[in-house]
Amino acid sequence: MTTLLGHNYIAGQRSANGAVQLQSLDAKTGESLPGTFFQATEAEVDAAAQAAAAAYPTYHNLSAEKRATFLDAIADEIDALGDEFVATVCRETALPAGRIQGERDRTSGQMRLFAKVVRRGDFYGARIDQALPERQPLPRPDLRQYRIAIGPVTVFGASNFPLAFSTAGGDTASALAAGCPVVFKAHSGHMATAEWVADAIIRAAELTGMPAGVFNMIYGGGVGERLVKHPSIQAVGFTGSLKGGNALSQMAAARQQPIPVFAEMSSINPVFLLPEALAVRGEQVASQLAGSVTLGCGQFCTNPGLVVGIRSSHFSAFLEQFCAHMNTQPSQTMLNAGALDSYRRGLDELHEHVGLMHLAGQPQQGPQAWPQVFKADVSLLIKGDELLQEEVFGPTTIVIEVEDQAQLAAALHGLRGQLTATLIGEADELLEYRWLAESLQEKVGRILLNGYPTGVEVCEAMVHGGPYPATSDSRGTSVGTLAIDRFLRPVCFQNYPDALLPEALQNANPLGIRRLVDGEPSEAKL
């Protein structure tokens, strides 16, 4: 049970030395919620980074089993967060209780999945090349490699998933799994939620004997900048706007010691509707797509912001039905007043764009967001029009009609990097459009057939990433177990006696993990 103090979390202690106090707002009414939060001072930001650095040697050298136990304990603590917690999240985000309960399960499930990964041990990437003393012209020394945590990581959470992409979300989970202490910058949109979750993590850390400083959290506006520039911080995880992600990336690149930034930023997630599918089930697609565009008030990174179809009577019929569905969708409260403001501004820009036509949606007014549909000329995509591909965060989408496959291919050329692309098609036509799927592979992190991108499964095979501007580094994912790779780096040990090697590389293979031994995968003792 959390008593809200609003103090920063530094090295397992609470700290509130600053004069600036912040308040969390009720997302529905805009009124201040009870309690205040203390913006971290510069000294507190530094102390949080230093606490993480102090914890690093101990934490990254812990056995995988001990780290896994910590992650499992966090999961248990999150599961135990009850109705009062859920009510707090709902007040701060306007998301419904059912969604928050589901997200709580997703967040604890994610922690347990990373515990499993850590126990499995493949994240070590263990490789052994045994000595070849007789080799000519020169002998080969014994060489062994595994991966260690990159160092303390700063995480910036997202507003739209106050649990699964925030304090104990995917970035925190994967960094802790890798062996990296975390300094989390609490999101201003759900500071009380952040406190409940940070408390849960700290309880788990104490229960399992983790070093103080394994997890730290600071409150405040603008304090993240100092954190990213702090010499102890070795990597950054971020989910948010393109502008924010770019700013952090540039800050990190300009440091005396540049560090990697994994920013998940901006995607319009194109959906391609193939002709036969529209002929067979256009009405169903219209209904399902409207559901995907408006799900959670369109506040998903994978919200479909672009719909592309080939001119036909079936496409026209689909478009009419889609607009009808969008017109009947209710307005919804957004995560906060800032999100609604941005949505309003985004819609204004779309309305003012001469190449766009408004097709459906009630006039945007009042305290809630109304779903909208626009239509754009394909030339905008071909010419790489900026506005067309800017993510408008909320329940709106732009439809584009192309003449034929050739024009579709031309349109693809202008498409920027995306988290997802979706093809809706019948079995035969998917084979006919194989070229489209292959071409999209080069643009996106995930391609879906006959589904909707708004579901993002937490599993081994998920990629929630993709070429810029979807993310700042297409080689990572921020959902799924591969996310751990972002926070690991390889180290090689040459000519080491067994007693000095980490367990993962010892001859007896005490962890029983699969290793690449002299170029062949093996679980054997040596």
Smallest Cα–Cα separation from 31: which of 452, 283, 337, 277? 337
**Three-class DSSP category at 322:** helix
Residue 261 phi, psi dihedral angles, 5° rounding: -120, 125
Q: How far is the CB of 118 from a second copy (least distance, A)?
A: 13
By beta-carbon proximity to a second copy, the closer residue of 222 and 497 is 497
- Give the active site residue among 264, 276, 391, 401: 264
User: Would you count residue 1 as binding a second copy (CB under 8 A)?
Assistant: no
Span interacting with a second copy, options 165-173, 289-297, 330-338, 460-468, rule CB under 8 A = 460-468
Q: How far is the CB of 499 from a second copy (least distance, A)?
A: 6
Span interacting with a second copy, options 84-92, 153-161, 335-343, 481-489, rule CB under 8 A = 481-489
Interacting residue with a second copy among 87, 97, 324, 449 (CB under 8 A):
449
**Residues 72-131 interacting with a second copy (rule: CB under 8 A):** 102, 116, 120, 122, 125, 127-129
User: Would you count residue 56 as binding a second copy (CB under 8 A)?
Assistant: yes
Interacting residue with a second copy among 351, 358, 434, 525 (CB under 8 A):
434
Q: How far is the CB of 492 from a second copy (least distance, A)?
A: 4
**Residues 149-178 interacting with a second copy (rule: CB under 8 A):** 150-151
Q: Is 523 left (phi over 0), alpha (psi -120 to 50) or beta?
A: alpha
CB 190 within 8 A of CB 198: no
Q: How far is the CB of 383 from a second copy (least distance, A)?
A: 15
Interhelix angle 170-178/64-79, nearest 10 degrees: 150
User: Would you count residue 387 as binding a second copy (CB under 8 A)?
Assistant: no
C-alpha to C-alpha distance for 344 and 394, rounded to whole angstroms:
9
User: Would you count residue 137 as binding a second copy (CB under 8 A)?
Assistant: yes
By beta-carbon proximity to a second copy, the closer residue of 197 and 444 is 444
Pairing relation of β-strands 153-156 and 8-10?
unpaired
Q: How far is the CB of 97 from a second copy (least distance, A)?
A: 15
264 part of the active site: yes
Span interacting with a second copy, options 152-160, 204-212, 349-357, 473-481, rule CB under 8 A = 473-481
User: Would you count residue 197 as binding a second copy (CB under 8 A)?
Assistant: no
Helix, strand and coil content of the chain, in percent to the nearest 5, comes to: 40, 20, 40
**Residues 238-257 interacting with a second copy (rule: CB under 8 A):** 249-250, 253-254, 257
Other CB atoms closer than 10 Å to residue 363's CB: what's the count? 9
Q: How far is the CB of 444 from a second copy (least distance, A)?
A: 7
Span interacting with a second copy, options 197-205, 212-220, 399-407, 451-459, rule CB under 8 A = 451-459
Assigned token pair, 7: 């103090």
What is the x/- site pattern for a second copy, positions 278-317, by CB under 8 A? ----------------------------------------
**Residues 392-431 interacting with a second copy (rule: CB under 8 A):** 417, 427, 430-431
CB 465 within 8 A of CB 264: yes
Residues in the interface with a second copy (CB under 8 A) total 80
Respond yes or no on whether the N-terminal peptide bond of residue 330 is cis (omega within 30° of 0).
no
- Give the active site residue among 103, 301, 323, 401: 301
Span interacting with a second copy, options 24-32, 132-140, 158-166, 222-230, rule CB under 8 A = 132-140
In DSSP terms, 271 is beta-bridged to 307, 422
Write out the DSSP string of 438-479: HHHHTTEEEEEESS-TT----SSS-----TTTTBS-TT--SS
By beta-carbon proximity to a second copy, the closer residue of 14 and 489 is 489
The alpha-carbon radius of gyration of the chain (Å, integer) is 25
C-alpha to C-alpha distance for 491 and 146, rounded to whole angstroms:
6
By beta-carbon proximity to a second copy, the closer residue of 491 and 524 is 491
Q: How far is the CB of 113 from a second copy (least distance, A)?
A: 9
- End-to-end CA gap in the chain: 50
Smallest Cα–Cα separation from 372: which of 357, 354, 387, 383? 357
By beta-carbon proximity to a second copy, the closer residue of 151 and 220 is 151
459 part of the active site: no
By beta-carbon proximity to a second copy, the closer residue of 222 and 521 is 521
C-alpha to C-alpha distance for 328 and 427, rounded to whole angstroms:
31
C-alpha to C-alpha distance for 391 and 346, rounded to whole angstroms:
9
Q: How far is the CB of 177 from a second copy (least distance, A)?
A: 14
Determine the distance from the C-alpha atom of residue 142 to the mean position of all C-alpha atoms in its chain, rounded to a whole number.
Answer: 39
Interacting residue with a second copy among 477, 478, 506, 509 (CB under 8 A):
477
Write out the DSSP string of 213-244: TSEEEEB-SSHHHHHHH-TT--EEEEES-HHH
User: Would you count residue 497 as binding a second copy (CB under 8 A)?
Assistant: yes
Span interacting with a second copy, options 152-160, 334-342, 395-403, 438-446, rule CB under 8 A = 438-446
Q: How far is the CB of 467 from a second copy (least distance, A)?
A: 8
CB 121 within 8 A of CB 513: yes
C-alpha to C-alpha distance for 324 and 401, rounded to whole angstroms:
18
**Three-class DSSP category at 368:** coil
Active site residues: 264, 301
